[in-house]
Chain A
């Protein structure tokens, strides 16, 4: 079990993340690299305990048509300064219409969580060394925002 933040609360997640090299599709409650999932797709469609993760290089559009079968989608932050996964989450939610769990994995830190929430992430597996209690207590700094976002599609000016 891994402690994660989901819907702004600390929960235990049964899922384990596998890398491309040591992927074992027979394990229960598993988050597979997208490439491994695609290779084994026909054998996995009946299962409900399989999620996928995408690196920042992976095109999120390749999930089109697969989302109904997935337990969750995880998007990787290779470092906190690499912001591609914010756009990937936006596309996953808005263009692909995904309603399930979108989990931030990799270099996920306290000061980024509010931005991630606004881009459509609802679950956070924190980087090593992050204090999960202070993270969950400090997810919101700003009382309003100007622009459209996944969590609040209407920009401020439409509610004035």
Chain B
């Protein structure tokens, strides 16, 4: 099917280049293959379904970066890979290369159902109810070339989580699917109408509990109601969140229910065999029986402080005794957040082969995870990561900034975002201080489209255009955890040069007010926005 798509797209590109296909029509067709035309060059977005990559696929991505781009790629906040410098006429060749490792860019942009995302710790997380990837895969297959929902009012994003902690940000997706437990049985809770962008909204639960076999028919009903009644007169009011709000969540849920009853138990109902088949794609690797504690690890932790710091921040507990989840933070100061070179990709692929069953995952925080590392091998892995600039021990810290490509690359952006991230990282260069500050999400978007998820950053920074000048609006108090919240705007916006200073003042307010083990977000929730506001605007007033 992917090969057929490549040929279809090759034909469309040729018809466009020869003048048979009008530009405005080709635009929509190429978008559905992930190709945007940007400031400097086209941009190609390649899907990484639920963030899972094999080492072979990553090597192919490195190959594409090397031969068709400028030697690097960019991991996005939706677990995808973007190339910023491909040539329009070479895109069919790139797609053919990707197809050879079962990768593609189908529906990675355009007003259709986008790549389904999931929890980067699926299958290994200790707080997991059930592995969410089988369900993400079922949705991915169902949505691929869905004939009815390829021309929606606006883009449509679905995320699935199977854990208590929400690492997939399901509340800010058009549809969020949560695996939940009820009376000892695992089923689904369905949210709809969440989204970031110009009008950030948290999704509403429209179905408290749904048996798994009804997942696809229920989602089909949501899409049909949205496709028919979502606004098409104004692209800023076309997302499902606006429809849900206009109808109210109750009325929307009722409409969906009515539509669903007409297809419930029909042929689209999932069978047990099909769910089992989807699960069979995500079998557990051949774990060894390992001791609870690794002596090598304990010794290395005592001997090496830097390794210890990295362990504390970047390594998480695993379901399997003796294994660990390792996060590679792609947030080295001086490199755009999420950017990864072809060499690094090859290195990561090799490390995945050596240490983690040849698999890796891309996270929505724009980092890479090796999910199945033996604890005894952690020190060896860390040493290799250090050699290649992949051992930033800053996961979840202030310098682990989520950031879109911004005005340097993106033609939608109002302002640059990468230099702002860089300036903040440079201001906060003392690692001990960063560790003392602890969990603090800084999210930066270059425009209202909110690719940098600024609404759910503890500190969110948004590029705005004021009479042709780039300014930055700062908000605080957002969170993308299981108890998501949207950030509040602090006040008037700032010039680019002022931003590191502003972040500094916000951090000072936190440090001066925190009690015990409070995180930035806890302190904010306790003392409110006022002290932050008065500190930042004190001199200006």
Contacts and interface: CB of A to CB of B under 8 A. Distances in A.
A binds B: yes
B531 to A, nearest CB: 48
A95 B216 CA distance: 18
Contacts of B263: 94
A118 B273 CA distance: 26
A149 to B, nearest CB: 6
Interface in B157-175: none
Interface stretch (A5-13, A62-70, A78-86): A78-86
B25 A111 contact: yes
Contacts of A148: 266-268
Contact of A86 (B5, B12, B144, B148): B148
Interface in A76-116: 80-84, 86-88, 90, 94-95, 109, 111-112, 114-116
Interface residues of A, number: 36
Contacts of B145: 142, 145-146
Contacts, number: 95
Contact of B1 (A119, A143, A153): A143
Contact of A83 (B29, B151, B267): B151
Contacts of B267: 148, 153-155, 158
B361 to A, nearest CB: 24
A143 B277 CA distance: 21
A109 B141 CA distance: 26
A81 to B, nearest CB: 6
A55 to B, nearest CB: 12
Given A87-B228, A143-B4, A81 B148 contact: no
B204 interface: no
Contact of A155 (B8, B29, B148, B268): B268
A158 B228 CA distance: 28
A142 B106 CA distance: 13
A147 interface: yes
Residues of B in contact with A, size category: 35 or more
Nearest to B8: A141
Given A86-B148, A111-B12, A115-B147, A146 B142 contact: yes
Interface in B205-234: 216, 224, 227-228, 232
Contact of B147 (A82, A86, A153, A160): A86
B354 to A, nearest CB: 36
Contact of B227 (A84, A95, A156, A158): A84
Contact of B268 (A115, A143, A144, A147): A147
Given A87-B227, A118-B147, A80 B25 contact: yes
B490 interface: no
B155 to A, nearest CB: 13
Nearest to A82: B232
Nearest to A83: B151
Contacts of A82: 151, 232
A126 B270 CA distance: 37
B228 A157 contact: no
Given A86-B227, A153-B267, 8 more contacts: A80-B25, A82-B232, A86-B151, A94-B262, A142-B1, A143-B1, A146-B144, A147-B142
Interface of B: 1, 4-5, 7-8, 12, 25, 28-29, 111, 141-152, 216, 224, 227-228, 232, 262-263, 266-268, 270-271, 273-274, 277
20 contacts: A80-B28, A80-B151, A83-B149, A83-B150, A86-B227, A87-B224, A95-B262, A115-B148, A118-B148, A119-B148, A141-B8, A143-B1, A144-B1, A146-B145, A147-B141, A147-B147, A147-B268, A153-B267, A157-B273, A160-B274
